[in-house]
Amino acid sequence: MTIGLGRRILLGAAGGWLAAPALVQPALAQPAWPRQPVRIIVPAAGGGSSDPLARYGAQEFTRRFGQAFVIENRPGASGNVGMMAAARSPADGYTLLFGWAGPLATNMALYPNLTFDSQRDFDPIVRFGAIPNALVVGKDSPVRTMADFVAMARANPGAVTFGSTGNGSSMHLAGAMLAAATGTQLTHVPYSSPAAATTDTIAGRVSAMFLGAPGAVPLARGGEIRVLAVLSEKRAAVLPEVPTTAEAGYAGVVMGTWFAWLAPKGTPPQIIAAINGAVNEMLDSPAREWLVQQGLEIADGAAGGPPESLGRFLGAEVQRHAALVRSADIRVD
């Protein structure tokens, strides 16, 4: 996917620690890092919601540091293939990981025999925002509000279905969470792709779907779906007219995906600090406008901050997702 802002974004020069001592004159000084291209492992195939965000980050890092930052898509096993590749990479600053809630948090509970750990094997760098899920129904559904949806589910135990992109996906966790919070029985229907699940939701072959908020926007504007609620504590910037689950009386029903930059454990702290600084500056630059337009929630601590903030957040999310997987008895085939 080609990403353009329509204007150049200036992020400033690299931090002073990167400049090697001038041996002849300042113009001949060479940076200590990076001296060669840096790869960014994305544990998914190209074309998903993570891909344009990772590529935008790579574009800005390349501009800032003067070396190519190259995306390497490593799909497979719900992100585990790419995670393993990143975990086994040298901690020399020439491999970064762009990850999200699924492979970083959910998979820790969903796959009991993983040979990597998102906290043990990676150094946190910085959060890069979040995308909340939205409860949507097809245009012909009789349901018009979240209250209607809950009432229908209570009146028809097990008959109300919701599509997802697979067992353990954020869409699946969202449905399980809502069912638990409302005391209803929702039947999960896993699909192999978001497009297939969306098509069947529009057609009414499944009752509902917990679609990422940005993906819901064009479908809602085109009249193909109706958005009942955003599974968030505050309204989504891309769907400001849609109430939240908190407003509907289910404050604890919060689910979506979040994104983060990490590096193999033991990466030099100066490099961690350099990437962290670059992202924080990006979030305070005109780049912020583009990220928000993509549906990324970056306010109120959802993005930026020091590496320690991401470390604490990741630890809490690993525990939260593990509790969800256990309580809903979610398993992978």
Q: Give residue-wise pLDDT tens across range 248-305.
A: 999 989 999 999 999 999 999 999 999 999 999 999 888 888 888 888 999 888 999 9
Query: Phi, psi at residue 261, to the nearest 5°?
Result: -105, 135
Query: Is the pLDDT score of 224 beyond 60?
Result: yes
93 and 60 in a common domain: yes
- Predicted local confidence at residue 23, as pLDDT: 35
Determine whether 136 is exposed, middle or buried from the number of CB atoms within 10 Å of its CB (0-12, 13-18, 19+).
buried
Please give the C-alpha separations between residue 157 and each of 154, 179, 203, 204, 206, in angstroms, as whole numbers: 6, 10, 22, 18, 15
Domain that holds residue 260: 36-130+256-327
Query: Is the pLDDT score of 328 beyond 60?
Result: yes
> What CATH number has the domain bearing residue 74?
3.40.190.150
Quick one: angle between helices 269-283 and 307-327, nearest 10?
Answer: 80
Which residue's entry shows tokens 């544990």? 43
Number of H helices and number of E strands within the chain? 11, 10
146 and 110 in a common domain: no
- Helical H segments across 159-203, by residue range: 170-182, 194-203
pLDDT band at 78 (very low <50, low <70, confident <90, very high): very high
312 and 269 in a common domain: yes
Is 264 among the domain residues?
yes
pLDDT in tens, 135-165: 999 999 999 999 999 999 999 999 999 999 9
Is 249 among the domain residues?
no
Query: Is the pLDDT score of 184 beyond 70?
Result: yes
140 and 116 in a common domain: no
Q: How many domains does the chain have?
A: 2
Is 26 among the domain residues?
no
For residues 259 and 100, give the distance between their C-alpha atoms in angstroms, rounded to a whole number: 4
Rg (CA), the chain: 21
Is 247 among the domain residues?
no
141 and 91 in a common domain: no
Burial 219-246 (b: 16+ CB within 10 A, else e): bbeeebbbbbbbbbeebbebbeebebbb
- Predicted local confidence at residue 25, as pLDDT: 37
87 and 136 in a common domain: no
- Predicted local confidence at residue 30, as pLDDT: 52
309 and 273 in a common domain: yes
> What CATH number has the domain bearing residue 204?
3.40.190.10
Residue 232 near residue 254 (C-beta atoms within 8 A): yes
- Predicted local confidence at residue 31, as pLDDT: 66
Instruction: Look at residues 230, 246, 278 and tell me which one is the last residue of a structural domain.
Output: 230
Query: Is the pLDDT score of 125 beyond 90?
Result: yes
Is 251 among the domain residues?
no
- Predicted local confidence at residue 201, as pLDDT: 98
- Predicted local confidence at residue 139, as pLDDT: 95
212 and 160 in a common domain: yes
124 and 138 in a common domain: no
Instruction: Look at residues 213, 230, 247 and tell me which one is the last residue of a structural domain.
Output: 230
pLDDT in tens, 2-56: 333 333 333 333 333 333 333 333 444 456 999 999 999 999 998 888 999 999 9
Is 88 among the domain residues?
yes
Is 245 among the domain residues?
no
51 and 124 in a common domain: yes
Entry pTM: 0.87
Query: Is the pLDDT score of 193 beyond 70?
Result: yes
Query: Is the pLDDT score of 64 beyond 90?
Result: yes
Residue 107 near residue 79 (C-beta atoms within 8 A): yes
For residues 118 and 124, give the distance between their C-alpha atoms in angstroms, rounded to a whole number: 9
153 and 95 in a common domain: no
296 and 151 in a common domain: no
∠ Cα 319 323 325 (to 5°) = 115
Is 242 among the domain residues?
no
> Tokens for 12?
């400033």
Give the residue-averaged pLDDT of 300-321: 95
Instruction: Look at residues 230, 247, 277 and tell me which one is the last residue of a structural domain.
Output: 230
Q: Please count the other Cβ atoms lying within 10 Å of the Cβ belonging to residue 71.
A: 16
